[in-house]
Amino acid sequence: SLTAKDKKMVKAFWAKVAGKAEDIGCDTVFVLTKTYFSHWKDLSPGSAPVRKHGGTIMGGISLAVASIDDISAGLLALSELHAFKLRVDPANFKILSHNILVVLAILFPNDFNPEAHVAMDKFLAAVGRALSEKYR
Ligand code: ZNH
């Protein structure tokens, strides 16, 4: 689980990159959109709905950063939404987390040092677990 040092690292890293949240989200969600968002008129990378949903997902990540001491509680409503209403296959949370890591490494090569990488990896795994909680 996340150590105090990991939490500090995640908060500091997120504070740096949050201004670019839409870019991160946009590049991140694109790959997954085909299955769940086939009804969107424009599914191309960087299109308006892809950017908007990218921003939405990053809002969820910001919420998780803000509730890093109890991510399950912070994401309870979101977990319920994904499990009961959206019915997203929870396997996708892992894929999405990995996408986020890759995009962070590409967009922030200097800040994404080994410590930030480890901390963000653990953090995103915790986010995925929290979102999956209501599926059990
Ligand atoms: Zn999700 C929605 C977050 C993943 C799908 N999302 C959503 C929202 C949020 C989120 C915040 C909004 C809510 C409201 O509105 O209330 N997600 C999130 C996060 C994550 C996720 C944080 C991880 C990390 N999702 C996901 C995935 C998928 C999804 C993986 C698939 C694939 N979501 C979704 C959908 C929706 C959402 C479908 C709905 C949208 C609309 O409606 O527009």
Report mean pLDDT in 10-residue bins for the chain, 136 residues: 95 90 75 71 78 88 97 97 92 88 91 95 96 89
What pLDDT is attached to residue 47?
80
What's the 46 CA to ligand 1 centre distance in angstroms?
17
What pLDDT is attached to residue 36?
76
Site of tokens 């890293």 = 13
What's the 110 CA to ligand 1 centre distance in angstroms?
29
Which residue among 22, 62, 88, 97 has the greatest number of ligand 1 atoms within 8 angstroms of its CB, and so is best to mutate? 88
- pTM for the full model? 0.91
Query: Which among 29, 5, 22, 10 is positioned nearest to 126, based on CA atoms?
Result: 10
What pLDDT is attached to residue 33?
64
95, 75 contact by CB (below 8 A): no
